Amino acid sequence: MIRLENVSKSYRLGKGNDVHAVSDVSLEIGAGESVALVGRSGSGKTTLLNLAAGLTRPTAGRVTFDGVELWKLSDAEQSHLRNQRIGFVFQFPSLLPTLTVLENVFFPTTLGANGHGVDAMGRAKELLGRVGLADKLAAYPRQLSAGQQQRVVIARSLINRPEVLMADEPTSNLDERTETEIMELFHDLHISLGLAFLLVTHTRQLVSPGMRTVEMAAGRIVSGAAG
Amino acid sequence: MTLLQLAWKNISGNGLRSWVVALCALLVAAFALFATLLLRGAATSLELAADRLGADIVVVPEGAQADIEGALLMGAPAHFWMPEETVRALGAIPGVEAVSPQVYLSTLLNASCCSVSEMFMIAYDPATDFTVRPWLQKRLPEGLGLGEVIGGDYIFATEGEDGILVYSALLKLKGNLEPTGTGLDQSVFLTLETAREVARISEEYAEEPLIIPPDQVSAVLLRSGPGVSTEELAVEIYRSVPGVYPIQSDNLFSSSRTQLRSLLNTVVVVMALIWPLAIVLIGMVYLMAANERRRELGVMRALGATRRYVSRSLLAEASLLAFCGASTGVFLAVLAIYLFRRLIVSSLGVPFLLPSPGSLILQVGIGLLLAMGSVFLAALLPAVRISRQDPAVAMRE
């Protein structure tokens, strides 16, 4: 489904000071597959996830989604693809602060070509019920704990019925108990919805049995590239 | 959720920033509209006053130029005299088509014999008049009779339904003229015959008599013949008739016009300072806000918002704030003009006429557009800049 071919990403921090975040990486993630990107901080995991999602343009190489080269699409086409086919969970608090919990969850549906409808609202409520926050619909993000916020983000990531869920260190700001709960939730969703799942983590303990583990170091894949 | 709803939620959720932007829009709109209303009101007022005078040249005694302007523009009572024979001398000058004398009088200050204090009164000669009659005909086709007056816009009857007491003489107020915004609105027009009758009554009944020096007039209004240059005629009058000063109608109210020009220059300078400052300030506020919300906007891009959507949402916010601020500013400017127009007129020394509803709507619209345009312009660069950023870079700390 997602294919990265000889992808590199460099950042220019100053004159003659290029940082090679990802160097010549190839990786394929199949439909319904669950992949964990592991490695130490600064190994290039997040950059690789961003490259796979089309959130940043590679310096070299190709990224394809179902055979379509991402960077040959227009901004509107790329945005539509992210909106409809990819769900995101970030490591930082990513809810829009001026929207309520319910509005945050159905917000991605308002970005689609057809806008949102009663169906989206109902689904948002259903998803919030599924993550255990049915009683927090009218609350604002600042009124929730970090764990609750991350549950809302998970509900939001599923609102458009994506084919792949990408989670970047989703439990890094959470306590151990909440971390376990969130990871169990991801596992359940992956199983029940049949989503492809790309998890970025530096904690190997979070990798569930059955996940393909891809290890990165210094911007390169050191193991697990082949599916 | 529409773009506007999202914008409104962001506005409500970011109080301080919203206040700063709205205040800038308010100041730009309020100042621009206030200045425009004031300057246009003054200019219109001067034009109307000159039109109502209806003469090519006004001849006054030498040294009375400022007095006549003060009387006509601000309604300040003026008393100046010149020999009546001047009328004949002026009429004899080649190129002069018509001449008509006027006598300028005023009521007493705080006297029980006058129901309006220090009211400017213009007495004209119906036999030779060519300036009062044309606009009087619209209201009173039969003209003014003995004991009758027609008042400016601010003059109202104080005795019964249509009576007005002047030096103990009860005059009949036959109607009111259209407003000009000048002293003419606080003046009454009457015939010389009525003025002399009032003077006669005053000798016996008023606290002080109304004195009209015999064989004297205050001013002579003059119409030039076809094809005659009023400038050359004015020079000829000044040369051939001693003791008088001819004022061409184009030059009439020159001190007010000068005052208005300097006021306009001040407004232009203040506007030239305020406007770019407001744009820079709003631009900086938006740049800061866009930077502060970089991650939030990056998340929106990740969730599927296009670059266009992100820039449009920021511009919608700016436009909404501009509309709210500018509407308030426009309302305050109109309110200030309506409430304090007398104070403004007296402190600035220029006449002022409230605009017609159509003109007001047009000027309000221009004020709103100017303020909204300013905010839009200021927010455009930050909005476009942030929307073009790579979502991954935007989300990075």
What is the extent of the structural domain holding B138? 63-242
Q: What share of chain A is helix, strand, coil (3-state, %, to 5)?
A: 40, 30, 35
For residue B82, give the nearest of B104, B51, B66 by alpha carbon: B104
Q: Does position A114 have pLDDT exceeding 70, yes or no?
A: no
Q: Does position B188 have pLDDT exceeding 60, yes or no?
A: yes
For residue B189, give the nearest of B113, B96, B125 by alpha carbon: B125
Looking at the partner chain, which of A80, A92, A99 has a beta carbon nearest the beta carbon of B295?
A: A92
pLDDT tens column, B370-396? 888 888 888 888 888 888 888 888 887
For the question of whether the overall pTM of this predicted structure is more than 0.80, the answer is no
Q: Does position A156 have pLDDT exceeding 90, yes or no?
A: yes
Q: Does position B75 have pLDDT exceeding 80, yes or no?
A: no
Looking at the partner chain, which of B303, B306, B392 has a beta carbon nearest the beta carbon of A76?
A: B306
Cβ within 8 Å, pair B1-A103: yes
Q: Which residue has the higher pLDDT, A225 or B296?
A: B296
pLDDT tens column, B200-252? 999 998 889 999 999 999 999 999 988 889 899 999 999 999 999 999 887 77
Contact B375, B318 (CB under 8 A): yes
Closest CA–CA distance from residue A98 to any residue of chain B (Å) = 5
Contact B37, B367 (CB under 8 A): no
Over range A160-178, report the average pLDDT.
87
CATH topology of domain A2-223: Rossmann fold (3.40.50)
Task: Please identify, among B213, B242, B271, the residue that sits at the C-terminal boundary of a domain.
Answer: B242
Residues B160 and B25 occupy one common structural domain? no
Residue A96 is given by DSSP the state: -
Over range B16-42, report the average pLDDT.
84
Over range A7-22, report the average pLDDT.
85
Residues B120 and B185 occupy one common structural domain? yes
Whether residue B392 lies within 8 A of chain A, CB to CB, comes out as yes
Residues B143 and B43 occupy one common structural domain? no
Q: Does position B33 have pLDDT exceeding 60, yes or no?
A: yes
Task: Return the minimum-mean-pLDDT range out of A71-75, A85-89, B66-70.
Answer: B66-70
pLDDT of residue A227: 55
Q: How do the domains of chain A map onto residue ranges?
A: 2-223
State the total domains in chain B.
2
Cα-based distances in Å from B160 to B121, B172, B173, B182, B278: 21, 10, 10, 27, 55
In chain A, residues 87-146 whose CB comes closer than 8 Å to chain B: 88, 90, 92, 94, 96-99, 103, 106-108, 110-112, 116
Closest CA–CA distance from residue B359 to any residue of chain A (Å) = 41
Whether residue A172 lies within 8 A of chain B, CB to CB, comes out as no
For residue B126, give the nearest of B172, B179, B195 by alpha carbon: B195
Residue B80 amino acid letter = F
Residues of B in contact with A102 (CB under 8 A): none
Looking from the CA of B181 toward its CB, the CA atoms found within 13 Å total 27
For residue B352, give the nearest of B199, B231, B182, B188 by alpha carbon: B182
**Is this prediction's ipTM beyond 0.85?**
yes
Closest CA–CA distance from residue A109 to any residue of chain B (Å) = 9
Contact B232, B222 (CB under 8 A): no
pLDDT of residue B39: 82
DSSP sequence for B291-348: HHTHHHHHHHHHTT--HHHHHHHHHHHHHHHHHHHHHHHHHHHHHHHHHHHHHHHHHH
Distance CA B376, CA A130 (A): 43
Over range A73-91, report the average pLDDT.
93
Residues B293 and B353 occupy one common structural domain? yes
User: Would you say residue B57 lies in a domain?
Assistant: no
